[in-house]
Amino acid sequence: MAKFNSVRLDSDKCMGCINCIKRCPTQAIRVRDRKAYIISDFCIDCGECIRICPHHAKLPVYDPVSVIHDFEYTVALPAPTLYAQFNNLEDTDIVLNALLKMGFDDVFEVSAGAEIVSEVSRKFINAHPEGKPYISTACPSVVRLVRVRFPNLIEHLLPISSPMDVAAIFARRRAMEKTGLPADKIGIIFISPCPAKMTSVKAPIGIGRSEVDAVVAIKDIYPLLLPLMSDSNDNYDIADSGKIGISWSKSGGEASGLLTDNYLAADGIENVIQVLEDLEDEKISHLDFIELNACPGGCVGGTLTVENPYVARAKINHLRKYMPVSKAHDVSDTNAIYLDREIEYLPVFRIGNDMKDSIKKMADIDKLQKRFPGLDCGACGAPTCRALAEDVIMGRATERDCIYFLKDYIGESCNISEK
Amino acid sequence: MNLEFTYTVDPDDFTRAGEASADIKKKLKKMNVPHEAVRKVAIAMYEGEINMVIHANGGIITVFVNEDFITMVLADKGPGIPDVEKAMQEGFSTAPDNIRALGFGAGMGLPNMKKYTDEMKIDTVIGEGTTVTMKVNL
């Protein structure tokens, strides 16, 4: 499977500072030759580096809005987070009609896909209680994190596609029936709160391929929609989801759609990691469901959004008020929405080829770490002294990348030349 | 080759209990230890660590790793265990109410440590302390 990451470096803007290396939850970034370098295997697409970079040198990867011209017929798949960007929105149809006016031929709400996922998940969990607690697979970063760091928890991942992929399947079916066009003439375009969704389209986990053709940013769509939004009588009735669907945009929304109180919902990547650690150590028990979102507040905290995540959450709460709990969806044919590929553990953080090699390297790393000053200053380009020790033993750096080692080395060199 | 890690467990600090087992888990995951074994070590050691905080004013944990097994030695200078057989029973607990209020002291500590390890030995002397040695085969 091709490795893909949804963040790129703007080398001109990167100052080689230590903000991103310190913030990265998987220690996937190093500063080398004064530029931040991402170790692709370690990256889980959480977007923390994009958030923290003061120079805006970390660029999220997604498609330009002009991608809609690449297809004969296009279907917009708005994430429910899109609705949370607008002030005083009372009716999602205003946004959905604006998408049509913008140039999309059809709209299929991801919140409708979410309601289908909620319904199928409820049935699945009831039918397979032995796998509890189930861990949500909707956030691509969480799935990637589990895959590289929590092998013992892979079996708990809920084997159901994300609302985006489910909406895409149903949207393409509907478009093909409606137009008679072949699949490749139809563009299924997701309007995304985060670049991680780009990764889950380009390098999906658990499914062979995603039905999504392109991923555009909420922040790019937002200014184009604003002038087109009006509450006129000519608007079509498009909205096809209720409280359950749009609540998926915020932390706890997916869990509440399962109609159980026996859940935990955590958001923000560091909190997510803590929950997974505790779950692995069996410190958490008796839960049916664990909802995890890498972004603060849930998808409303994504890096491709416009609105502050907490304000966005309040707007979703306001919008929810007069909505039905859920709309009725045709779930007679849902085989395609189950994950059908095994999710395999990727031991990318492993230091040795075998146990013997690992023991030797671990001993060397421990020994070297004790010789470093322990300031975790980041000047060497690694986030901690421990990480530098590991880099040195793994052949990715040298001891003299540590400025204290370099100082001693220069001192020694001077002494030698004086003599 | 044997790898050795030593941890000091501080007494009466629940917020820090679990740091040693978390660190060992992190290190073992970077090595070629089967992940089921990593989990067993982490769970057994966490239970032991908590016991040292609750009952024994902390102590020292030493972990030995080689190609065939992982050994954890948890040594404390606590009050000792008067009746080891009884202490090993599921649900038996001498934890005070304030500890139970925190969600600990369910009487599953020692039984879980036994359950998740391949060998467990308890050496205890009243008034002098306890040393629990646990082994997980690889």
Q: Could you write out the DSSP letters of every residue in B16-62?
A: TTTHHHHHHHHHHHHTT--HHHHHHHHHHHHHHHHHHHHHSS-EEEE
User: Is A346 among the domain residues?
Assistant: no
User: Is A345 among the domain residues?
Assistant: no
Q: Is A155 on the interface with B (CB under 8 A)?
A: no
Q: Specify the DSSP element, H or E, that contains A199.
A: helix A196-202
Tens-digit pLDDT string for chain B (138 aa): 789 999 999 987 777 888 999 999 999 999 999 999 999 999 999 999 988 988 888 899 999 999 999 999 999 999 999 999 988 988 888 877 777 777 777 777 899 999 999 999 999 999 999 999 999 999
Query: Domain of B49?
Result: 3-137
Q: What is the pLDDT of residues A117-152, one digit of tens each?
A: 999 999 999 999 999 999 999 999 999 999 999 999
For the domain that residue A48 is a member of, what is the CATH number?
3.30.70.20
Burial class of residue A33, CB neighbours in 10 A (0-12, 13-18, 19+): exposed
Q: In this complex, do B32 and A152 lie within 8 Å of one another by their Cβ atoms? A: no
Per-residue exposure over A338-368, b if at least 16 CB sit within 10 Å of its own CB, e if not: ebeeebeeebebbbbeebeebbebbbbbbeb
Tell whether the model's pLDDT for residue A1 goes beyond 50.
Answer: no
Query: Domain of A233?
Result: 65-337
Same domain, A114 and A196: yes
Confidence at A2, pLDDT banded by 50, 70, 90: low
For the domain that residue B113 is a member of, what is the CATH number?
3.30.565.10
Same domain, A70 and A50: no
User: Is A381 among the domain residues?
Assistant: yes
Backbone angles phi, psi at A144, to 5 degrees: -65, -35
Q: Is B71 on the interface with A (CB under 8 A)?
A: no
User: Is A234 among the domain residues?
Assistant: yes
Tell whether the model's pLDDT for residue A414 goes beyond 70.
Answer: yes
Nearest to A61, CA basis, from A16, A9, A19: A9
Same domain, A370 and A297: no
Q: Is the peptide bond before A133 cis (omega within 30 degrees of 0)?
A: yes
Residue A225 vs residue B94, higher pLDDT:
A225
**Quick count: other Cβ atoms within 10 Å of Cβ A405?**
18
Same domain, A269 and A390: no
Q: What is the pLDDT of residues A333-392, one digit of tens each?
A: 888 899 999 999 999 999 999 999 999 999 999 999 999 999 999 999 999 999 999 999
Question: Which residues in chain A touch residue B138, judged by CB atoms under 8 angstroms apart?
Answer: 355
User: Is A313 among the domain residues?
Assistant: yes
Interface test with chain B among A41, A145, A152, by most B beta carbons within 10 Å: A152
Same domain, A248 and A394: no
Sequence-separated (6 or more) residues with CB below 8 Å from residue B125: B80
Q: What is the DSSP letter of B121?
A: E
**Per-residue tokens: B125:** 């002397």
Whole-number pLDDT of residue A419: 63
Same domain, A290 and A373: no
Tell whether the model's pLDDT for residue A101 goes beyond 70.
Answer: yes
User: Is A38 among the domain residues?
Assistant: yes
Query: Looking at A279, A303, A337, which one is the last position of a domain?
Result: A337
Q: What is the DSSP letter of A138?
A: -
Q: What 3-state DSSP class applies to A299? A: helix
Total structural domains within chain A: 3
Q: What is the mean pLDDT of residues A258-270?
A: 95
Same domain, A160 and A299: yes
**Quick count: other Cβ atoms within 10 Å of Cβ A373?**
11
Q: What is the DSSP letter of A84?
A: G
Confidence at A13, pLDDT banded by 50, 70, 90: very high
Choose the closest CB to A359 out of B39, B42, B66.
Answer: B66
Same domain, A56 and A69: no
Same domain, A195 and A178: yes
Q: What is the pLDDT of residues A174-193, one digit of tens each?
A: 999 999 999 999 999 999 99
Tell whether the model's pLDDT for residue A231 goes beyond 90.
Answer: no
Same domain, A189 and A160: yes
Q: How far is CA A252 from the centre of its chain?
A: 16
* pTM greater than 0.90: yes
Q: In this complex, do B29 and A282 lie within 8 Å of one another by their Cβ atoms? A: no
Q: What is the DSSP letter of A89?
A: -
- Nearest chain A Cα distance for residue B38, angstroms: 9
Q: Is A350 on the interface with B (CB under 8 A)?
A: yes
User: Is A348 among the domain residues?
Assistant: no
Query: Looking at A44, A60, A76, which one is the last position of a domain?
Result: A60
Same domain, A91 and A217: yes
Same domain, A318 and A379: no
Query: Looking at A337, A364, A396, which one is the last position of a domain?
Result: A337
Residue with tokens 């893909």: A4
Q: In this complex, do A355 and B67 lie within 8 Å of one another by their Cβ atoms? A: yes
Q: Quick one: closest CA in B to A386, which residue?
A: B27
Tell whether the model's pLDDT for residue A331 goes beyond 90.
Answer: no
Total structural domains within chain B: 1
